[in-house]
Amino acid sequence: MTRTAVLAIHGGAGTILRAAMDLAAEQSYHAALRDVLAAGQRVLADGGSALDAVSVAVRLLEDCPLFNAGHGAVFTSDGTHELDAAIMDGRTLEAGAVCGVKRVKNPIFAARRVMEQSEHVMFAGAGAEAFAEKQGLEIVDPSYFHTDARYQQLLKAREAGKALLDHDAAALASAQDIPHEPIDPNRKFGTVGAVALDLHGHLAAATSTGGITNKEPGRVGDTPLIGAGCYANDATCAVSTTGSGEMFMRMVVAYDVSAQMEYRGVPLATAADDVVMNKLPRIDGRGGLVAVDKYGNVTLPFNTEGMYRGYARVGEAPVTAIYR
* Residue 243 labeled ligand binder: yes
CA distance 67 to 181: 11
Measured in degrees and rounded to the nearest 5, phi and psi for residue 182 equal -60, -30
The verdict on whether residue 76 carries a ligand-binding annotation is: no
pLDDT over 50 (residue 169): no
Query: Looking at residue 157, what is its pLDDT?
Result: 83
Axis crossing angle, helix 50-63 with helix 107-117, rounded to the nearest 10? 150
pLDDT tier at 323, thresholds 50, 70, 90: confident
The identity of residue 207, as a single letter, is: T
123 inside domain: yes
Q: Of the segments 13-22, 50-59, 140-149, 157-166, which one has the largest average pLDDT value?
A: 50-59
The DSSP bridge partners found for residue 183 are 16
Which of the residue ranges 25-39, 184-198, 281-295 would you say has the lowest mean pLDDT?
184-198
291 occurs within a structural domain: yes
In the annotation, is 213 catalytic? no
| pLDDT exceeds cutoff 70 at 175 | no
Chain mean pLDDT for the chain: 90
Per-residue pLDDT at 17 exceeds 60: no
The percent of residues in the chain predicted with pLDDT above 90, rounded, is 78
Q: Is 229 annotated as a binding residue?
A: no
The answer to the question of whether 34 is labelled as a binding residue is: no
Instruction: Quote the CA–CA distance of 57 and 37 in Å, as a whole number.
Output: 7
Are the CB atoms for 311 and 298 separated by under 8 Å?
yes
Contacts of 317 (CB under 8 A, 6+ apart): none
- Residue 100 — pLDDT band, cuts 50, 70, 90? very high
Which residues have CB under 8 Å from 24's CB, separation 6+? none
Instruction: Tell me the CATH number at 50.
Output: 3.60.20.30
245, 284 contact by CB (below 8 A)? no
In a domain, 305, yes or no: yes
Confidence check: pLDDT of 319 > 50: yes
Distance CA 197, CA 212 (A): 30
Quick one: average pLDDT of 181-205?
A: 81
Q: Is the model's pLDDT at 127 over the cut of 90?
A: yes
227 is in an annotated binding site: no
- Give the residue, 198 or 306, on which the prediction is more confident: 198
**Alpha-carbon distances, residue 268 vs 103, 131, 260, 274 (angstroms):** 37, 36, 9, 10
pLDDT digits (tens, 9 = 90+) for 226-283: 999 999 999 999 999 999 999 999 999 999 999 999 999 999 999 999 999 999 999 9
What share of the chain has pLDDT > 70, as a percent? 89
Neighbours of 50 (CB within 10 A): 33
**Would residue 237 count as lying in a domain?**
yes
pTM of the model: 0.92
Residue 187 has pLDDT above 90, yes or no: no
pLDDT computed for residue 54 by the predictor? 98
Q: Which uninterrupted H or E stretch holds 321?
A: strand 319-323
205 confidence band (pLDDT: 50, 70, 90):
very high
Evaluate whether residue 145 is within a structural domain. yes
Q: Is 148 annotated as a binding residue?
A: no
Who has greater pLDDT, 44 or 22? Answer: 44
- CA–CA distance, 91 with 233 (Å, rounded to integer): 7
- Domain count within the chain: 1
Lowest mean pLDDT among 49-58, 86-95, 145-154, 275-284: 145-154
Among 191, 207, 223, 236, the active-site one is 191
Q: Are strands 122-124 and 94-101 parallel, antiparallel or unpaired?
A: parallel
Confidence band of 305 (pLDDT split at 50, 70, 90): confident
Does residue 221 have a known ligand-binding role?
yes
- pLDDT confidence of residue 165: 60
Q: How many CB atoms lie within 10 A of CB 26?
A: 15
User: Domain range holding 209?
Assistant: 6-323
**Residue 80 assigned ligand-binding role:** no
Q: Is 1 part of any domain? A: no
Tell me the C-alpha distance between 195 and 232, whole Å: 8
Amino acid 164: pLDDT: 62
Nearest Cα to 112, choosing from 50, 163, 51, 178? 51
Query: Torsions phi, psi of 125, nearest 5?
Result: 50, -135
51: in domain: yes
Average pLDDT (82-104) is: 98
